[in-house]
Amino acid sequence: MSHELKADTGWRIWWQLTRPHTLTASFVPVFLGTMIAISYIEIHWTLFFAMLFASMHIQAATNMFNEYYDFTRGLDNEKSVGIGGAIVRNGVKPKTVMQLALLLYAISILLGIYICIQTTWLLAVVGAVAMAIGYLYTGGPYPIAYTPFGELFSGIFMGMLIVLIAFFIQTGDITTIALLLSVPSMLLVAAIMLSNNIRDLDGDKESGRKTMAILIGRKRAIDVLLALFVVSYVWIIVLVIFGVVTPWALLIMLSVKKPVRAILIFKRKVHNFEVAPAMKDTALTNTIFGFLLGLGLLISYLLK
């Protein structure tokens, strides 16, 4: 069976460059943080959408930085799996990809200024750090993605931090419950990065990367991925048992099929194309889990 990847045409070139399947990783934490806040205060929807679009622009720009630097370092080719493919398959100039990424960052900064005006300028520092991490994940002389700390940084800054900022801009505070409910988001975003590194393990090893998956080996990396899934679900179950959050939070169990399938695929398959669905299921786990958790909190609020 041929696994040759075809070039995109027209608007699809630019759409795929953003890696749209990853954008839910920025939507869900904003949604979740806002739904945690809904029981504290009336939601400021303009702030919600400003935060949402800023996060999505930063995510898309990070993806473009990733594509630019992986290409310039010779890591991507026309057969690479999981990339936007704008440069190696669709002929977009690397300079154009970088310019688009910087444009998205500029838009994010403008949205961030609005958020700061409405809340506090301390968020400017937090936002600047988050944007720097987005760039340094694959950019700079020592890319974070090439180290064992990619999962840690992505989990904290793309998972937990976004939830807490979304909560803070609505309430002006960070509560214990917000911190507790941001933990699964941190773990599942880290799981997305880990699943990506498991899929790309052989190619990353050849290119000299030192990801966690490479250092501990494929089998143990899959075990760590399983642990991230299990802890995320058990975490919410325990919070429900102890009455910290509403039983409606158990809606997350409707998503459990996705991580189960991801682990089974990783255990049974090895080739990049064969395990690509496991990467997708991992991303969907984060999306569906976070959405269902936020939905459960919203239902509980509406039923009060």
Task: Check which CATH number belongs to the domain holding 264 and give it.
Answer: 1.10.600
Instruction: For residue 6, tell me if it sits in a domain.
Output: no
Instruction: For residue 241, tell me if it sits in a domain.
Output: yes
- pLDDT greater than 90 at residue 258: yes
Residue for token digits 């939601």? Answer: 43
Of 100-104, 165-169, 200-204, 236-240, where does mean pLDDT reach its minimum? 200-204
Average pLDDT over residues 195-222: 90
pLDDT for residue 217 = 95
Instruction: For residue 199, tell me if it sits in a domain.
Output: yes
Instruction: For residue 5, tell me if it sits in a domain.
Output: no
- Cα separation, 151 vs 193, in Å, equals 6
If one counts the domains in the chain, the total is 1
Instruction: For residue 4, tell me if it sits in a domain.
Output: no
Average pLDDT over residues 128-135: 90
Instruction: For residue 65, tell me if it sits in a domain.
Output: yes
Instruction: For residue 2, tell me if it sits in a domain.
Output: no
Closest C-alpha among 133, 129, 130, 131 to residue 142: 133
Of 30-39, 141-150, 230-239, 255-264, where does mean pLDDT reach its minimum? 141-150
More confident position, 172 or 83? 172
In contact, 159 and 189? CB cutoff 8 Å: yes
- pLDDT greater than 60 at residue 292: yes
- pLDDT greater than 70 at residue 77: no
- pLDDT greater than 50 at residue 249: yes
- Cα separation, 26 vs 11, in Å, equals 22
Q: What is the b/e burial string over 96-135, where b = at least 16 CB atoms within 10 angstroms of the residue's CB? A: ebbebbeebbebbbebbbebbeebeeebeebbeebbebbb
Average pLDDT over residues 275-289: 93
Instruction: For residue 1, tell me if it sits in a domain.
Output: no
pLDDT for residue 94 = 84
Range(s) of the domain holding residue 76: 11-302
